[in-house]
Amino acid sequence: MSRRGGGRRSETRRDQDSSAPSPSFQRGGGGGGRGRGGRGVSTPAPSPTPVRAPTSAAPGYLSATAGPSAKPTPQAAYTAAAASSSSSVGELSQETAKKLTLGGLVPVSSKAIVPPRRPDYGKIGKKCVIRANHFVVEVSDRDLFHYDVAITPEITSKKVNRDVISQLVRSYRESHLGNRMPAYDGRKSLYTAGALPFEAKEFVVKLAERGDPASSSSSVKKERQFKVAIKYASKVDMYHLKEFLSGRQADAPQETIQILDIVLRASPSEKYITVGRSFFSPDLGPKGDLGDGIEYWRGYYQSLRPTQMGLSFNIDVSARSFYEPILVTEFVAKYFNFRDLSRPLSDQERVKVKRALRGIKVQITYSDYTKSYKVTGISNLPVNKTMFTLDDKKTKVSVYQYFLERYNIGLKYTSLPPLQAGTDAKPIYLPMELCQIAGGQRYTKKLNERQVTALLRATCQRPSARENNIKQMVRQNDYSKNALVRDEFGIQVKEELTLVDARVLPPPMLKYHDTGREARVDPRFGQWNMIDKKMVNGGRIDFWTCLNFSTRVHRELPSEFCWQLMDMCNNKGMEFNPEPIIPIRSADSRQIEKALHDVHKQCTAELANQKGKQLQLLIIILPDVTGSYGKIKRVCETELGIVSQCCQPQQAKKLSKQYMENVALKINVKAGGRNTVLNDAFHRRIPLLTDVPTIVFGADVTHPQAGEDAGPSIAAVVASMDWPEVTKYRGLVSAQAHREEIIEDLYKKYQDPKKGLVHGGMIRELLIAFKRSTGQKPFRIIFYRDGVSEGQFSQVLLHEMQAIRQACGSLEEGYCPRVTFVVVQKRHHTRFFPADHNRRDQTDKSGNILPGTVVDTKICHPTEFDFYLNSHAGIQGTSRPTHYHVLFDENNFSSDGLQTLTNNLCYTYARCTRSVSIVPPAYYAHLAAFRARYYIEGETSDAGSSGGTAEFRPLPVIKENVKDVMFYC
């Protein structure tokens, strides 16, 4: 279901002319040669190896270089050293040759793929010591035993399962369990330190029913009876773990680590609400209101990780949104802003209410005991018209009558439909006003902007405050005094944050245009400004206009804003025509599509006599009410082929120089210009980047919001187009299967009845674009892959590396540039704090560690090539470093080489004059993927919670002229 780079097509799987290479590929060039995939030494050979004539779908890809007058370049020698006589994709390093081949032989287990070992430790940068929220864990050398658990009747609730096993331990620990205290995972596994006195045994457990009559006068309590079968599964010794932590064992003993993790989670799992690896409770901090019947709870995250210093316990504070435990009527009034619940709901309102309430647990308030129900829907009729049959199977009554006669309750909101529980065949009707939302239920739908702001404001903590809260959480849990943890399993958790050796990498020098008063700049503390500087390559805008959708700005404001913006662009080095192609105008925000089509039509007519000319930029002042940005971008970029720059009306009317400067940076890259480049890149002084043509990729996949059970995931891939500077990126997007993390569209092929075998995919298209842009083919690929969790490393590497190989091989037989594949992780819970919060030389203005701080010791992987990099200056809250993990490396990067390159690239982000927290190609891929989601999601209001699923349309194709520039910025 994957589509071409520009987007998804509803009617076909095929590319548009994907098999046809650019005409420029047909022209001859000098030299060139085949690249070898192996880890050979890249020493220059005496002369380039000749290449056979191309035989694939892109004739001349390998032999064409920079054009007829090209001089010999370092890549010729690089190619010679890497050349081979292979007739397929070239030889790969031995350990991956069988796994990553064009032949498509996929190993039975992806666990066989082992990432490269750390080549060395970094030395560049000023040494310092910082604290990390990792706590040393010491484990006694005890044999661990794994037992399978089967509870009959089967229960889906982990909470109830835990109650059953807890009751079993209380009843049988001394008599049948050898006085062992087991750790239970809530499902089908139970672990002990030392063997139980049986191989297999079945127990009967009686559990008091939840929701029994609560009054003390009740003498009889209902009990549920369960059969619990416990059977020996395996013995797990600690030797494998010790060998792995010492670096003598390659693969991590996941089962051993998981057992210890379950032991450490056992006590909090019984006390708190569990969400993934986090725990939440009103006992862990004050709750807060997010509005619309939603509140936040405080909690903490915990995870046991193998590191260079041994086992490390990563603990971080967090917060999550939960439903308020209020009456359903109160929730409906808050959530949908209904002021009058006495009026009947419209069909549209009823559907929205049904979506918002479905799946929520409610508790009845009209009985003397607590009973919970899961809402499956709501009735189509109000309570006074919803009829059902009584137990005598004869009498039909309305819900209103039933509660009046049975409970003597006269319902107040007779126009509201009742909630429905049970099944459609046997429904249970519950009046909304007599049901309360059960406490402790996580709110999984997307928060609106107001709620996100409230949550961030409540949880945004300065580094010193966050560090103190983490310490308090560790003290409160007191792991090392827990009987199961300390006495039974012999685990000790230190209470001090780990001191870690770090280095602060120097910032790179940035180059601007020589005509500016400052042609170069040394950034300080991760930031600089554009004063006295000109863009290194100013774009040219000849044909532009402006469309204003705001009614709250002065009538003359759009013209004044555009004039000042144009002046700023010209001052910063662009060539911006002072006259719009058609007059600046205002339009009705209720007719956005019509206004955009009208502007496009008039501009096209105006340029009809100028062959090949078109509107280059449409400046748009957005409507006053949010929610139309996605529609504007979809129409402009996929229907009309317009590059647009949207501006918020409240910002535009300030006429701020700083705002104009920021917008000018975006406009320049949308006009094909470059704002700044690395000075060392310009002078070709960056190892493993500027020595031979190198293409830098960024890739990301964005999934539908939490709670969505349909709709595609969106993959985006960007690639640099301007070697050796590496600042200009072309972006492609593609829709794929729901929540599929592997990018399906990197490479694809199909049989065409006329053309035969047709090759396509995003990697191939970007390689062709690189060749068209630079006149050279890339001999090296650096691939930054965002959004991959540790559990998916092997799977993603296997499939995506194979796609890269196939895409390269489809351009010409034997073409196999060396690849470095790096996973970029932002979703982790490692945080760094200055060793001394009061020392100015250890912190930036926000109290965070300094930009450029890198860590590759102690808390990093025992053997693999990974590092944490805090490349940005904090603004508010506690900075989150980015974790980079190398999964494949044929370019033989040293730690210093990759760390410095990554940090330096973080200073080339086009949209601001600050270093950013994540390497720009990955950042751009993230932006492009989110832009594409705007194309397919139905219009939803940003003003409040939608309470339902978004409507999706097929992913449309982005117009070629839009793809040619950094439209996603």
C-alpha 311/C-alpha 493 separation (Å) is 10
Question: Given pLDDT bands bounded at 50, 70 and 90, which one contains residue 329?
Answer: very high
- Encode pLDDT of 690-733 as tens digits: 999 999 999 999 998 776 777 899 999 999 999 999 999 999 99
Query: Regarding predicted confidence, which is higher, 344 or 12?
Result: 344
C-alpha 958/C-alpha 952 separation (Å) is 17
Phi-psi region of 787 (alpha: psi -120 to 50; beta: other; left: phi over 0): left
C-alpha 733/C-alpha 921 separation (Å) is 14
Q: Report the SS3 class of residue 239.
A: helix
> Helices 254-271 and 158-176 meet at what angle, rounded to 10?
100
* DSSP H/E element including 785: strand 780-786
DSSP string, 639-706: II---EEEE-HHHHTTT-HHHHHHHHHHHHHHTT-BS-EEHHHHTT--TTTSSS-EEEEEEEEE-PPT
Look at strands 832-834 and 729-736 and give their pairing.
unpaired
- Encode pLDDT of 620-662 as tens digits: 999 999 889 999 999 999 999 999 999 999 999 999 999 999 9
C-alpha 787/C-alpha 800 separation (Å) is 14
Q: What is the pLDDT of residue 62?
A: 54
Give the torsion sign (CA, 56, 57, 61, 67).
positive
C-alpha 263/C-alpha 275 separation (Å) is 17
Look at strands 644-647 and 617-621 and give their pairing.
parallel
Lookup result for tokens 């705001």: 550
Name the fold adopted by 328-438.
Answer: paz domain (2.170.260)
Question: Given pLDDT bands bounded at 50, 70 and 90, which one contains residue 215?
Answer: very low
| 0.85 exceeded by pTM | yes
Look at strands 694-702 and 713-720 and give their pairing.
antiparallel
Torsion of Cα atoms, 794 then 795 then 800 then 806, to 10°: 100
What b/e readout covers 935-967, taking b as 16+ CB neighbours within 10 angstroms? bbbeebeeebbbbbbbebeebbbbbeebbebbb
C-alpha 396/C-alpha 401 separation (Å) is 10
Two tokens, residue 808: 């390269």
C-alpha 13/C-alpha 10 separation (Å) is 8
End-to-end CA distance of the chain: 27
- Encode pLDDT of 533-588 as tens digits: 999 999 999 999 999 999 999 999 999 999 999 999 999 999 999 999 999 999 99
Q: What is the pLDDT of residue 105?
A: 36
Give the torsion sign (CA, 166, 167, 172, 173).
positive
Lookup result for tokens 């390093």: 93
99 pLDDT more than 70 = no
Q: Where along the chain do its domains lie?
A: 328-438, 543-673
Beta bridge partner(s), residue 296: 288, 321
Specify the range with the lowest mean pLDDT, choosing from 93-97, 783-787, 826-830.
93-97
Question: Given pLDDT bands bounded at 50, 70 and 90, which one contains residue 843?
Answer: confident
132 pLDDT more than 80 = yes
Q: What is the pLDDT of residue 76?
A: 52
Q: What CATH code is assigned to 543-673?
A: 3.40.50.2300
Specify the range with the lowest mean pLDDT, choosing from 106-120, 154-168, 409-423, 915-929.
106-120
C-alpha 44/C-alpha 65 separation (Å) is 18
Asked if residue 958 lies in contact with residue 7, where contact means CB atoms within 8 angstroms, the answer is yes
460 pLDDT more than 70 = yes
Specify the range with the lowest mean pLDDT, choosing from 10-19, 308-317, 656-665, 779-788.
10-19
Considering the chain, what percentage of its residues have pLDDT values greater than 70?
A: 85
Specify the range with the lowest mean pLDDT, choosing from 71-85, 116-130, 695-709.
71-85
Specify the range with the lowest mean pLDDT, choosing from 85-94, 370-379, 425-434, 441-450.
85-94
- Encode pLDDT of 484-516 as tens digits: 999 999 999 999 999 999 999 999 999 999 999
C-alpha 336/C-alpha 142 separation (Å) is 56
41 pLDDT more than 90 = no
Q: What is the pLDDT of residue 574?
A: 97
CA angle (564, 568, 574) in 5-degree steps:
130
Radius of gyration of the chain from its Cα atoms, rounded to whole angstroms: 31
List phi, psi (to 5°) of 322: -135, 160
Q: What is the pLDDT of residue 915?
A: 97
* DSSP H/E element including 451: helix 449-459
Residues with Cβ within 8 Å of 391's Cβ and at least 6 positions away in sequence, in order, are: none
Asked if residue 804 lies in contact with residue 770, where contact means CB atoms within 8 angstroms, the answer is no
Specify the range with the lowest mean pLDDT, choosing from 39-43, 434-438, 795-799.
39-43
Count of residues in the chain: 969
12 pLDDT more than 50 = no
Residues with Cβ within 8 Å of 262's Cβ and at least 6 positions away in sequence, in order, are: 183, 184, 185, 189, 191
Specify the range with the lowest mean pLDDT, choosing from 238-247, 889-898, 920-929.
238-247
In three-state form (DSSP H/G/I as H, E/B as E, the rest C), the secondary structure along 516-573 is CCCCEECCECCECCCCCCCCCECCEECCEEEEECCCCCCCCHHHHHHHHHHHHHHHCC
Beta bridge partner(s), residue 299: 280, 318
- Of 37, 38, 99, 40, the closest CA to residue 809 belongs to 37
Burial (CB count <10 Å: 0-12, 13-18, 19+), residue 669: buried
Asked if residue 572 lies in contact with residue 532, where contact means CB atoms within 8 angstroms, the answer is no
Look at strands 818-825 and 780-786 and give their pairing.
parallel
- Of 312, 279, 314, the closest CA to residue 298 belongs to 279
- Encode pLDDT of 861-882 as tens digits: 999 999 999 999 988 899 999 9
How confident is the model over 210-226, as a mean pLDDT? 54
List phi, psi (to 5°) of 384: -85, -5
Asked if residue 948 lies in contact with residue 352, where contact means CB atoms within 8 angstroms, the answer is yes
- The whole-chain average pLDDT of the chain stands at 87
